[in-house]
Amino acid sequence: MTNARQQAVFTEAHASGVTRVGARFTVWDDDIRGRHVVLIPGKRIVQEWQTREWPSDMPPSLLEIKLQPSGRGTLLQVVHANVPAQHADDLRAGWIEYYWRPLKAWLEARGGRVKLRSSQPPAARTT
């Protein structure tokens, strides 16, 4: 989830950065940029995110991924908060189409079993 080389492989888009709290990263051919805020291996990832399309005066959104054991696998709980309201629907669709589906295919090609389930769209910023 934070390894730029692996992300570049399964998304087929340039990614850069190192896995270290405070380090900056880019994904999706530098369209998305951010900073690692919290990294607890195997448990929790918190990142600040911003895309090129967002208004320049908007602070970054906050992405939180919680990982927890579930049977023989891992359950990922993802909350992407403080997304500019006009971009929330596109961001949600982008997560599914350009991240979760390619990640699922990449993991399954390596013998993994993956279920995708989405319950809520990103939380839009209301200010």
Torsion of CA 58, 127, 85, 78, to 10 degrees: 80
Q: Which of 103 and 27 is assigned the larger pLDDT?
A: 27
Asked if residue 48 lies in contact with residue 33, where contact means CB atoms within 8 angstroms, the answer is no
CATH number, domain at 99?
3.30.530.20
Provide the pLDDT confidence category of residue 127 given band limits of 50, 70 and 90.
Answer: very low
Sign of CA dihedral 22, 28, 30, 33: negative
The pTM for the full model equals 0.83
* Number of domains forming the structure of the chain: 1
* Predicted pLDDT of residue 11: 85
> Domain span at residue 40?
4-125
pLDDT digits (tens, 9 = 90+) for 2-43: 889 888 888 888 999 999 999 999 998 999 999 999 999 989
Q: Helix/strand/coil (H, E, C) string of 74-89? A: EEEEEEEECEEHHHHH
Radius of gyration, alpha carbons of the chain: 14
